C-alpha cells in the first residue's frame, strides 16, 4: 500500500489514501482566521455501503477535532486557533473504513499577522498597576490551570445543544475580544473575552445548554460560572455579584445563571463573557455563527456500518 498526496491552490488541501478509495477532502472556513477564531471544518468522503466510514478523528493546534456526520459522506467539526498563532496551521482528519482502509485528509490555512491590540485607556487606582505578590501570582496560575482543565474535559462529552448559541446579555458590548488594556498609560494585557454593559443585579443567561462545571471566586474574574457544552466547547461568565447555579447543574439555553456584578479585578460592574475550545481561549462571538444543525446534538451520528457504531472523538 502507498500514501498519495495532492495539493491544490487556495487554502492548501492535502489528501492521503491507504488502500483503494476516492480521496477525502477537508476544507476550512474562514480560510484566513483571526487569532482566537473558531474555524468550521467540512470533511467530504466517498459515500457508499460497500466500504462505509466507521470512525473519523482529527486534530488542530494540538486539540482533538470531533467530527459529526451531517449527511452521507459529509462530516462537520470545529476547531480553535491559538491567540498567539502566526504563519499557518494544519488540520487533519483520519478516516477509518469498515474494510480496515485508512484515509488521511489535511487542510492548511494561512494566518494573518497578529495585529497590535486596540488600546482602551483606563484611569485606575494604583493597585491595578503595582506588582502582585508571589502568592497572588501563584493563585492566578492555579485558577488559569483549572480553567484550561475544564476545557480539556469538555472533549470527553458530546455536544449537548440543539439550538444556536445566543449572547448572555442583549446590552451594549463595551470591550471586544483581543483589545488591549492600558492602565494609566501602560499596556498591561490583552482582553481575551467580550464585555457587556450591565448594572449590579441584572441577569446573565447561559449561552446554550450544558452542564455547570465550576462555580467559584477567582482573584481576577471574581465570582465565576463555567459551563461545559460538550464537544470541546466551554463558556464562562465573570464578575458576577451572585451565581444562581451550582456545579453539576444542567442548564437550558437562555436560563438565568447569575447576576451582573463587579467582583474580582474590575473597574466597574459588567459581564465578561469568555469561551474555550479545549485548552484554547477563543472568541465567544464566533460561537454565534454556528448553525443549530451544523455542529450540535441535533446532528446525531447514525451507525456508520451495519452493526458498527461511529465513534466520536
Rounded to 5 degrees, φ, ψ at 52 are -75, 165
* Four-way CATH pick for 119-282: 3.40.50.10860, 2.70.70.10, 2.40.70.10, 3.40.50.150: 2.70.70.10
pLDDT of residue 127: 56
Domain coordinates in residue numbering, the chain: 12-111, 119-282
Are the C-beta atoms of residues 303 and 52 closer than 8 Å to each other? no
**CA max distance for the chain:** 70
Are residues 253 and 161 in contact, defined by beta-carbon separation less than 8 angstroms?
yes
Strands 87-97 and 53-60: antiparallel
Question: Residue 278's pLDDT is what?
Answer: 98
In this chain, the answer to whether the domains covering 12-111 and 119-282 adopt an identical fold is: no
pTM: predicted TM-score of the whole model, two decimal places: 0.85
pLDDT at residue 78 in the model: 97
User: Would you report the helix, strand and coil content of the chain in percent, each value rounded to 5?
Assistant: 10, 45, 45
Q: Characterize 96-113 residue by residue with b for buried, 16 or more Cβ atoms within 10 angstroms of its Cβ, and e for exposed.
A: bbbeebbbbbbbbbebee
Q: Helices in the chain by DSSP H: which ranges?
A: 134-153
| CB 39, CB 78: distance < 8 Å | yes
- Distance between CA atoms of residues 86 and 140, nearest Å: 27
Q: What is the three-class DSSP state of 19?
A: coil
Q: What is the pLDDT of residue 132?
A: 87
- What is the pLDDT at residue 138? 97
For 102, residues 6+ apart whose C-beta sits below 8 A from its C-beta are 18, 19, 94, 95, 96
pLDDT score, position 9: 29
Q: Reading across the β-sheet that carries 256-259, which strands appear in turn?
A: 203-205, 256-259, 242-243
- According to CATH, the topology of domain 12-111 is Immunoglobulin-like (2.60.40)
Q: Which pLDDT value is given to residue 293?
A: 81
pLDDT of residue 291: 86
Per-residue pLDDT of the chain (313 residues; tens, 9 = 90+): 322 233 332 344 444 444 445 789 999 999 899 999 999 999 999 866 678 899 999 999 999 999 999 988 999 999 999 998 888 999 999 999 999 999 999 999 889 887 666 655 554 445 556 788 999 999 999 999 999 999 999 999 999 999 999 999 999 999 999 865 444 344 445 789 999 999 999 999 999 999 999 999 999 999 999 999 999 999 999 999 999 999 999 999 999 999 999 999 998 999 999 999 999 999 999 999 998 888 999 885 544 433 333 333 2
Amino acid at each position: 500500500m502507498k500514501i498519495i498526496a495532492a495539493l491544490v491552490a487556495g487554502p492548501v488541501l492535502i489528501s492521503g489514501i491507504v488502500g483503494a478509495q476516492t480521496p477525502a477532502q477537508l476544507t476550512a472556513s474562514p480560510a484566513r482566521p483571526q487569532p482566537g477564531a473558531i474555524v468550521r471544518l467540512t470533511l467530504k468522503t466517498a459515500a457508499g455501503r460497500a466500504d462505509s466510514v466507521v470512525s473519523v478523528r482529527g486534530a488542530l493546534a494540538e486539540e482533538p477535532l470531533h467530527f459529526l456526520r451531517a449527511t452521507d459522506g459529509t462530516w462537520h467539526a470545529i476547531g480553535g486557533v491559538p491567540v498567539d498563532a502566526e504563519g499557518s496551521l494544519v488540520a487533519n482528519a483520519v478516516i477509518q473504513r469498515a474494510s480496515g482502509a485508512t484515509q488521511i485528509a489535511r487542510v492548511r490555512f494561512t494566518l494573518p499577522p497578529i495585529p497590535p491590540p486596540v488600546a482602551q485607556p483606563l484611569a485606575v487606582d494604583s493597585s491595578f498597576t503595582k506588582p502582585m505578590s508571589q502568592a497572588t501570582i501563584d493563585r492566578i496560575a492555579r485558577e488559569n490551570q483549572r480553567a484550561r482543565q475544564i476545557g480539556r474535559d469538555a472533549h470527553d462529552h458530546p455536544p449537548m445543544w440543539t439550538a444556536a448559541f445566543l449572547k448572555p446579555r442583549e446590552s451594549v458590548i463595551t470591550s471586544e475580544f483581543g483589545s488591549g488594556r492600558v492602565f494609566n498609560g501602560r499596556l498591561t494585557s490583552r482582553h481575551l473575552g467580550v464585555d457587556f454593559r450591565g448594572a449590579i443585579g441584572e441577569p446573565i443567561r447561559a449561552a446554550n445548554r450544558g452542564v455547570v462545571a465550576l462555580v467559584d471566586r477567582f482573584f481576577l474574574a471574581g465570582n465565576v460560572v463555567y459551563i461545559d457544552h460538550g464537544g470541546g466547547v466551554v463558556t464562562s461568565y465573570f464578575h458576577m455579584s451572585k451565581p444562581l447555579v451550582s456545579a453539576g447543574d444542567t442548564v437550558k439555553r437562555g436560563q438565568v445563571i447569575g447576576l451582573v456584578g463587579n467582583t474580582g479585578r474590575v473597574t466597574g460592574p459588567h459581564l465578561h463573557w469568555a469561551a474555550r475550545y479545549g485548552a484554547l481561549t477563543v472568541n465567544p462571538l464566533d460561537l454565534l455563527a454556528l448553525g443549530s444543525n451544523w455542529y450540535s446534538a441535533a446532528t446525531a451520528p447514525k451507525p456508520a456500518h451495519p452493526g458498527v457504531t461511529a465513534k466520536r472523538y
